[in-house]
Amino acid sequence: MKRLLLFLIVPTLALAQGPYRVAVNQPARYAVQLDGTSQYLSKSSPSSMDLNGSEILSNTTWEVNTTGWTLAAKATRTSDQAHGGSYSIADTGGTLETTWIYQTLSPTISGYKVTAEAWCYVVSAAGGRPRLVLLDAGSVTLAQAYADTSKKNQWQKVVINYNAAVGNAIKYFELDFSATSGLCYWDDPSLTQAYDALLLARVKRSGTTTYRDLLRVRAGTLNYKLGTGTTGENLFVCYMHDGTTALASNYSAGFPYDGQWHLWAGQIVRTGTTGGVSYFDGKAGTAVNLSTLGKLSGADGLLIGENSAGILLDATVGELLVIRFDALPSDIASWIAYASTQRFIPDPPAGGTVVLKLLGKENSFRDQSGTQGILTNNGNAQTTRY
């Protein structure tokens, strides 16, 4: 009789829960416990965490020649200055037609988002500014960005993030310097795809509130912190770094170090002005502008729970995912809210490609190539099943 009752009760309970659980604070199935003193996970050469595609431009160093580029009369290859290597291109101010340096893109670039950038060294500028510009086949300006002429005699990065999926095709990548007079140098131009990205982590933490890095990809490209040590110790920060500029997207309502499981998410969209958003248990923080963020590629090492300076995280880490998209779905906030109520982080939304997946069970990760690479378990961190 007891057995019969169980048969009756168990399915009834399951049905009562419905197809979707609505509770937050769902535990991870497995999790890695990091003690904050000796334990972290690492991999020296993740096969790919790249949130940019390969370089589209040719001959981006000008170390040997200027092949592939059209230089107007006032643009000259020189070894007087260089951002990378020994050579750059000097540009003296003048009319547009006398100062441009451009590369014609073949095929034209369309159907996805791009990051365009170049390094500029301003010596002097009167009546104008050095400019990076993307043009269509009719030489109509699609997007442009200027060097800051108040920053003299130093290299600065000029960045454009442009959505060629909804805008016109890019035909020309151009640097110029319309001014009455002046001198600047250009070096290391770049044009790459700019993937959107979504980071998700199921983590619980209690006790200390000092900020610690959850995920760091060395070479300063992608950084995911728990809290911040500067303005309150209780923030969740999705912190992105392109090697030059750091931009933080804060969820500042106060992260409770309450020993409960919480789902944290951060989105990276570089086009537009509201692309950086952090989420805590499905609730969105204030959006920030990431449009000046340059390339996020260049990963040469992966750290989970360590900041590369030996500062370690004290937390229990369940799932950790980084998903990239050609374009993040517009309804991503509702998907994150849904994910925050699930026992396991659900499959990525349509169009997403998982570039990092940490499973606490295996201390392993899966990258975008589908191969699974075992992380080095420093300090013998223990895995727990919940």
CB of 150 to Ca ion, least distance (A): 24
* C-alpha–C-alpha distance, residues 238 and 30, integer Å: 24
Query: Which is closer to Ca ion, CB of 82 or CB of 198?
Result: 82
**Site stretch for Ca ion (CB under 5 A), options 59-67, 97-105, 319-327, 355-363:** 59-67
Query: Which is closer to Ca ion, CB of 91 or CB of 306?
Result: 91
**Site stretch for Ca ion (CB under 5 A), options 58-66, 128-136, 220-228, 352-360:** 58-66
Closest residue to Ca ion, based on beta-carbon distance: 85
CB of 59 to Ca ion, least distance (A): 10
Binding mask 84-123 for Ca ion (x = CB under 5 A): xx-x------------------------------------
Query: Which is closer to Ca ion, CB of 78 or CB of 234?
Result: 78
CB of 122 to Ca ion, least distance (A): 17
Query: Which is closer to Ca ion, CB of 188 or CB of 367?
Result: 188
Eight-state DSSP code of residue 312: B
229 near 313, Cβ under 8 Å?
A: no
CB of 61 to Ca ion, least distance (A): 4
- The first and second tokens of residue 258, run together, are 């309450």
Taken in order 167, 173, 179, 184, the sign of the CA dihedral is positive
* C-alpha–C-alpha distance, residues 229 and 346, integer Å: 32
82 near 88, Cβ under 8 Å?
A: yes
Query: Which is closer to Ca ion, CB of 49 or CB of 82?
Result: 82
CB of 100 to Ca ion, least distance (A): 18
Q: Which residues from 72-91 bind Ca ion, rule CB under 5 A?
A: 82, 84-85, 87
Q: Which residues from 148-187 bind Ca ion, rule CB under 5 A?
A: 187
The residues pairing with 283 across neighbouring beta strands, listed in sequence order, are: 280
196 near 182, Cβ under 8 Å?
A: no
Query: Which is closer to Ca ion, CB of 90 or CB of 345?
Result: 90
* C-alpha–C-alpha distance, residues 43 and 219, integer Å: 13
* End-to-end Cα separation, the chain, in angstroms: 31
* C-alpha–C-alpha distance, residues 44 and 49, integer Å: 12
Residues touching Ca ion: how many (CB under 5 A)? 6
The edge-to-edge listing of strands for the beta sheet with 302-304 is 246-251, 236-241, 222-226, 212-217, 302-304, 40-43, 376-378
CB of 60 to Ca ion, least distance (A): 8
Q: Is 356 exposed, middle or buried (0-12, 13-18, 19+ CB in 10 A)?
A: buried
- The alpha-carbon radius of gyration of the chain (Å, integer) is 24
Binding mask 259-288 for Ca ion (x = CB under 5 A): ------------------------------
* C-alpha–C-alpha distance, residues 253 and 236, integer Å: 9
Eight-state DSSP code of residue 329: -
Q: Give the number of other Cβ atoms within 10 Å of residue 344's Cβ.
A: 12
Binding mask 185-214 for Ca ion (x = CB under 5 A): --x---------------------------
Query: Which is closer to Ca ion, CB of 81 or CB of 115?
Result: 81
Among 25, 33, 59, 61, binds Ca ion (CB under 5 A): 61
Query: Which is closer to Ca ion, CB of 61 or CB of 342?
Result: 61
Residues that bind Ca ion (CB under 5 A): 61, 82, 84-85, 87, 187
